[in-house]
Structure 1
Amino acid sequence: MSLFLSPEHVLQGGYFHATLRKLQEPNTSIEPHNIMYPVFLLEDDDAVQPVSSMPNVFRYGINQLIIALEDLVLKGLKSILIFGIVETLPKDPTGTAADAPSNPVIKALPKLREAYPQLLIACDVCLCPYTSHGHCGVLTAAGAIDHAASTKRIAEVALAYAKAGAHVVAPSDMMDNRIKAIKDALVANKLQNQVSVLSYSCKFASCMYGPFRDTMKSSPMEGDRKCYQLPPGSAALAARAAARDVAEGADLLMVKPGLPYLDIVRQTKDKFPNHPLFIYQVSGEYAMISRSGSASEVQATLMETLTCMRRAGADCIITYFVPQILNIISNKN
């Protein structure tokens, strides 16, 4: 029987890991399992580079990332979301480097699993950092999205990360039917009970991604992503996108960006209360809050924002503020 005849009966991909089990027990507190730390991974294993547009955020080679995570894990860090950055590997129209053996994410996953065996490791799955055109899918000769080729490549990349050791694959491309393609690949390789799919189910074409795209060097060479990311004013399309991904077997859902879209968070949680819901506090939000005043004012603004996200229905918040939040939680305890 095909997995997708009854996706609501396929449960184990969503709670095989202790952190995923905690997310099945929702409340309104902010604990370490309610936050996920996005990290930028470089090809150079020993590199550390500050991100100029995001205070206190760095890009790391794997050796330096392992060192940087040590204190955070001791303070309770439960999960990370990895974004790979290539500077020397070639970029081409199909994003060949995305799943090459020399890809920094694929090289890093075994080392992270060995260094922090209890840490939940998610990997962003997209082609934009690896394509010469900077779009999230494969393009036709006319410059439009080639749907079949795009979903095939996204599934190939997700499977490569899964085989390398990712606990969670998180497709951020917003291509139609990529969840089914990924699930089919995981089932074919007997990984469906070992790897969860976190869908960027409600990802909007926002102007708040600027610092992130500068960091990743992933802006489109031509055009924009409005034809496959959601228009900011459409709640109905967000509902349809989430329903599509649930029907195809997504284990976890996401709304991105965060604070301006709390109505979408509430809408999605009300519609799918049994799916853990993530919210991404994106780079533009981080930059604004970081510059909102004194250290005490930043902390107060941050915690108010996180509380509102939890109140709206978010089970886990993806945020660059994780080091500060862990400090706040530690001091409170």
Structure 2
Amino acid sequence: MSSYPIVRHRRLRRSAGLRSMVRETVLTADDMIYPIFVTYGENIRSEIPSMPGVYHLSMDLLEQEIREVAALGIKAVLLFGVPCHKDAHGSSAYDPNGIVQEAVRAVKGWAPELVVIADTCLCQFTDHGHCGVVRKDEATGIAVVDNDKSLELLVRTAISQAEAGADIIAPSNMMDGFVYAIRAGLDEAGYSDIAIMSYSVKYASAFYGPFRDAAHSAPQFGDRKTYQMDPANGREALREAESDVAEGADMLMVKPALAYLDIVKTLKEQFDLPVVAYNVSAEYSMVKAAAANGWIDERAIVLETLTGMKRAGADLIITYHAKDAAKWLRGDGM
């Protein structure tokens, strides 16, 4: 008898067919949600400088983008609006004729089968760039975000998006009690069937830089560390998610994804709701920059990264790579 071990793990790696048969994690276009930035104007298809391949689109050019997304087999889009008017209370966010509301109605008309998710926040609609109402603290005189007053406006925003036809409301503001307030508001307004995809675990991350360029939503003073999570904390993520489950969330999101796959795995193990990972702007832009310099194989890196997110426990992945990934998965360009 040879002394060599009887177990040979390489037996099931010997050919592409064998590897495919025993593959544990399979990535498909069904797993991906594509974010889109909609703006006012005409004939606008303006590439975002820090996000190559991602554009600001005016309504007249949005239809072409939506039909391409649907043809690729991507089942859902996440709509962000870039308004022409900003004020202290972000009133454009809950305007029934606001940019997101207009886009939702249009998309549901062009592609009724497409799941339309509306981002529900105030930051890109406020002149100060914060995700809620700002007031001065009486004791210190320092400007702070008023949690409970912000909830009132977020509820109005969510209801206006549901009225426009959004299938899913995705509140990204990280105010305490935001899921409960929005759920109660939607139910009272007659939208009890509209799901909430909560940004349950959203870190105060350095990976959002290019998005703020895209959404024109950088805070004009301070930062968002008093309402977004400390990147050093893991147990706190469980508390945040537990609150959202108790308040009526239908899906739990982790944002960003790549540096927080341990959190994705933890939520998957602890809760029975679908888990969403947001493959955020800087994660996208770093890959694009490296690929442009010839340092990496973009296709291989993207598919490996997205597969890793799914393997960690993500049921759905919001990613700017969605269109390219869907093409690669069906064999285009191979």
Q: TM-score, normalised by structure 2?
A: 0.88
Choose which of 36, 47, 50 in structure 2 pairs with 1:50: 47
Aligned residue-pair number: 303
> What do the CA deviations read for 1:255-291 (whole angstroms, capped 9, x no partner)?
000110000001111110x211100010000011112
Matches within 5 A, 1:37-116: 37-86=34-83, 88-89=84-85, 91-116=86-111
Structure 1 unaligned spans of 5+: 1-26
The match for 1:276 is 274
The match for 1:330 is 330
> What do the CA deviations read for 1:157-207 (whole angstroms, capped 9, x no partner)?
0111011110011000000001001100111122111x1100000000000
The match for 1:137 is 132
The match for 1:118 is 113
Identity between Structure 1 and Structure 2 (%): 38
| Alignment partners' CA distance in 1, 2:237 and 2:254 | 9
Q: SS of 1:291's equivalent?
A: helix
Q: SS of 1:144's equivalent?
A: strand
Q: 1:254 is aligned with what amino acid? A: M
The match for 2:290 is 292
Q: 2:248 is aligned with what amino acid? A: G
Alpha-carbon shift at residue 71 of structure 1 (Å): 2.2
Bigger relative CO (Cα 8 Å, ≥ 6 apart): 1
Q: TM-score, normalised by structure 1?
A: 0.88
Alpha-carbon shift at residue 292 of structure 1 (Å): 2.5
Taking only aligned residues, the RMSD between alpha carbons, in angstroms, comes to 1.5
Matches within 5 A, 1:1-333: 28-86=25-83, 88-89=84-85, 91-142=86-137, 143-193=143-193, 195-272=194-271, 274-293=272-291, 294=294, 297-331=297-331
Alpha-carbon shift at residue 295 of structure 1 (Å): 9.3
Alpha-carbon shift at residue 101 of structure 1 (Å): 3.2
> What do the CA deviations read for 1:291-327 (whole angstroms, capped 9, x no partner)?
2234971111111111110110000110000111110
| Alignment partners' CA distance in 2, 1:190 and 1:33 | 29
| Alignment partners' CA distance in 2, 1:235 and 1:282 | 19
Q: Which has the larger radius of gyration?
A: 2
| Alignment partners' CA distance in 1, 2:69 and 2:120 | 24
| Alignment partners' CA distance in 2, 1:108 and 1:123 | 10
Alpha-carbon shift at residue 221 of structure 1 (Å): 0.6
| Alignment partners' CA distance in 2, 1:314 and 1:302 | 15
> What do the CA deviations read for 1:62-117 (whole angstroms, capped 9, x no partner)?
2211112222211212100000001x32x111111111133111112221111001
The match for 2:140 is none
* 4+ runs deviating over 4 angstroms: none
Alpha-carbon shift at residue 146 of structure 1 (Å): 1.1
Q: 2:254 is aligned with what amino acid? A: V
Q: SS of 1:59's equivalent?
A: strand
Indicate conservation of the 8 Å contact 2:120/2:172, yes or no: yes
Alpha-carbon shift at residue 236 of structure 1 (Å): 1.3
| Alignment partners' CA distance in 1, 2:72 and 2:261 | 29
> What do the CA deviations read for 1:215-241 (whole angstroms, capped 9, x no partner)?
111111100000000000100111110
